[in-house]
Amino acid sequence: MLNPFLSKLLFIRQFGIDKGELKIFNKRFLLIPLSAFLSIKLNKEQETKFVKELKLSFTHLAKFLSKSNNVIELLENYLALFNSMGLGEIQVESFDQKTKRMILVLRNSTIAKEYINKTGYSKKPVCKLVTLILKAMLSIVLKTDVNVKETACLAMKNDFCVFNAIPKKG
């Protein structure tokens, strides 16, 4: 069954696969095995560039995702987008609108499961890709740069992954 978010995109002709290309909002996407992502290691500069590129792409999506400036509505729409990515199911555990601090829980992390499958359990969190995606998405939603840190991980024998998002200072 197709995710409701992708169904909506398909209905308005903003999602399609044609001539070997997967396009969403006229931007090209790839379907790559998750195990390939586990071997990619980015330095801080590369991570910054990656997040910047994600923010550009997600900002384009924001115009479709929400016509209002309602933070909760925009957040819900971005989480629906995230849940369409095949990385697991994410939800907000807590959100303080005043301080813009947020705790998110990721259940069924496909990255953590793949990590466990390939190398066994880890002593530290392994969902770096999720951290970077959340950093980009939440910066758009909260209209400020945020730091995102994974504080618990399925690959560390936790029941799920936990991410703390805190606005950057200055």
> Which residues are CB-contacts of 79 (< 8 A; sequence separation ≥ 6)?
90, 91, 92
CA distances in angstroms from 66 to 21, 62, 116, 139, 160, listed in the order given:
26, 6, 37, 15, 29
Asked whether residue 37 is assigned to any structural domain, the reply reads no
Helix pair angle (71-82, 128-142), 10° resolution: 160
38 lies in a domain? no
Do 3 and 53 reside in the same domain of the chain?
no
Query: Same domain, yes or no, for 101 and 159?
Result: yes
On whether both 22 and 59 belong to a single domain, the answer is no
How far apart CA 57 and CA 27 sit, in angstroms, is 8
Euclidean distance between CA atoms 26 and 84, whole angstroms: 17
Q: Which of the four pLDDT bands, split at 50, 70 and 90, describes residue 86?
A: confident
Per-residue b or e along 102-120, where b marks 16 or more CB atoms closer than 10 Å to that residue's CB: bebbbeebbbbebbbeeee
Which one is predicted more confidently, 41 or 2?
41
pLDDT, tens digit (0-9, with 9 covering 90-100), for 138-168 = 999 999 999 999 999 999 999 999 999 999 9
Domain count of the chain? 2
On the CB side of 47, CA atoms within 13 Å amount to 14
Render pLDDT for 1-21 as a digit per residue (tens, 0 to 9).
566 666 666 655 666 666 666
Residues 85 and 146 in one domain: yes
**Same domain as 161, residue 127:** yes
Are residue 20 and residue 61 in the same domain, yes or no? no
Residue 106 lies in a domain: yes
Residue 157 lies in a domain: yes
In a shared domain, residues 52 and 78: yes
Amino acid at 138: L
Domain assignment of residue 7, given as a range? 1-31
Residues 56 and 1 in one domain: no
Assigned domain for 81 exists: yes
The whole model's pTM is what?
A: 0.84
What values do phi and psi take at 149, rounded to 5?
A: -130, 130
| 92 within 8 A of 79, measured Cβ to Cβ | yes
